[in-house]
Chains A and B, each alone.
Chain A
Amino acid sequence: GAVVSQHPSWVICKSGTSVKIECRSLDFQATTMFWYRQFPKQSLMLMATSNEGSKATYEQGVEKDKFLINHASLTLSTLTVTSAHPEDSSFYICSAPTDLGTDTQYFGPGTRLTVL
């Protein structure tokens, strides 16, 4: 299957700081990537759709000024959590559909964010 990587795999930061998470498609190009957040014992919640070369599309209730998304190339999307607070602590996962004509999505390994 297609490979999607994320970096870092985990990060601990102080409240008020910003954290950048990278999502890369390693063996295919992804004009679209998706960012999800998952709280303990809950399912994945879609935060936004990252579009290469254009603005991201955010789901209802997700603050676009707090969760900055940049999709500067066909293999890289970044999510920046600005002015992080403890309630932002979560498991952030990106996914990308392959360019094989199907909508099968492959997930990155996730980034565990802990805000102190």
Chain B
Amino acid sequence: QKEVEQNSGPLSVPEGAIASLNCTYSDRGSQSFFWYRQYSGKSPELIMSIYSNGDKEDGRFTAQLNKASQYVSLLIRDSQPSDSATYLCAVNGAQGAQKLVFGQGTRLTINP
């Protein structure tokens, strides 16, 4: 079992709809969870960080964390074509809080 798992997609969502991205992780000791967006040929860009169970909202983005289920998700409301990218879930690893383990990423396409 991979440490951090994501559905690789592609996930297609019509413009204006809600895009839902999911991630599961295996290390119950993980404390920090991140969502990064990566455009083709570019490096990852931090979108959200979440540390506590529940929801965290920032603009059109909402991160959800459920440590009991080892599940973290990202919702994008009012999806725009510019949201089309690969979304990477990252979790701090077992061997130190600063060492991140990445999922394989979900490719999201927003259709105009």
Contacts and interface: CB of A to CB of B under 8 A. Distances in A.
Interface residues of B, number: 21
Contacts of B104: 42-43
Contacts of B42: 109-110
Interface of B: 32, 34, 36, 41-46, 49, 88, 92, 97-105
Interface of A: 1, 32, 34, 42-44, 46, 49, 93, 95, 97, 102-110, 112
A46 B88 contact: no
A34 B44 CA distance: 13
B32 A103 contact: yes
Contact of A105 (B41, B98, B103, B105): B98
Contacts of B105: 43
A107 B44 CA distance: 6
Given A32-B98, A44-B88, A107 B45 contact: yes
A108 B101 CA distance: 17
A107 B38 CA distance: 11
